[in-house]
Amino acid sequence: MQIAAHPSLSFAAPSALPVSWTEMVSHRKDLVRFAQRRLQDPMLAEDVVHDVFEAVLSGRAAFAGRAALRSWLTAVLKNKIVDLVRQRAGTDSLEEQNDADGALGIACPQPGPQESAEQRELLTQTLARIEALPAPLRDVMQLRVLQDQSTEDVCEALAITRDNLFVRLHRARAQLMN
C-alpha cells in the first residue's frame, strides 16, 4: 500500500526567489547600521554588508520568501558577522602569548591614549579640509558622508542627479586625498 504525501509537505529545498539589486540596496543603510552596532567599525561594517550582497548575487545565499527580504538579509548579515568574529578570534592559546619573562601578554583591543589623541587630531584636520572644499563638493560630503543621508535625500536636497552626486563625491574625496 502506497501512502500519498500531502501536497503541502515537501522535503525538497524551497526554490529560490529572485532578488533584484534595487530591492537589496534599498536595505543597505539599515544593514550597515546593524553591522556597525555589532562590530564597532564603520569600514568593517561596509565590508560585511558588501559580502552579504555578493553572497546573494552569486547564489551562495538564496531567498526562499519565507520571511521579509529585510529580515532575511539581516539573518545573512548576522551569519557573516559571526564568521568574521570567528575568523578574527584565531586559535592562539594563552600559553603561546607568554613573553620572555613568562608574563601573560594580552593586548587590549582599544586604542591607547596616544592613538586616541592622534585619531582626534586626524578627524579635526579632515573636518577642516571638508569645510574648505568648494560649496558643491562640501555639501555632498556633509549630507551624504557626515550626516549619512540617503542618496535620494541628498539628490533631492541639492536638486542634482544621482550621477552628479557620485561625481561630486568622487571629486571631493580626490581633493581630500591630495
Those residues whose C-beta lies under 8 Å from the C-beta of residue 17, and which sit 6 or more positions away, are 63, 64, 65
> CB of 105 within 8 A of CB of 99?
yes
According to CATH, what is the number of the domain 129-178?
Answer: 1.10.10.10
Lowest model confidence (mean pLDDT) among 4-18, 30-44, 66-80, 83-97: 4-18
Tens of pLDDT, residues 149-171: 999 999 999 999 999 999 999 99
Question: Where in the chain are the domains?
Answer: 21-88, 129-178
Q: What is the pTM of this model?
A: 0.43
Q: Topology of domain 21-88, per CATH?
A: Rna Polymerase Sigma Factor; Chain: A (1.10.1740)
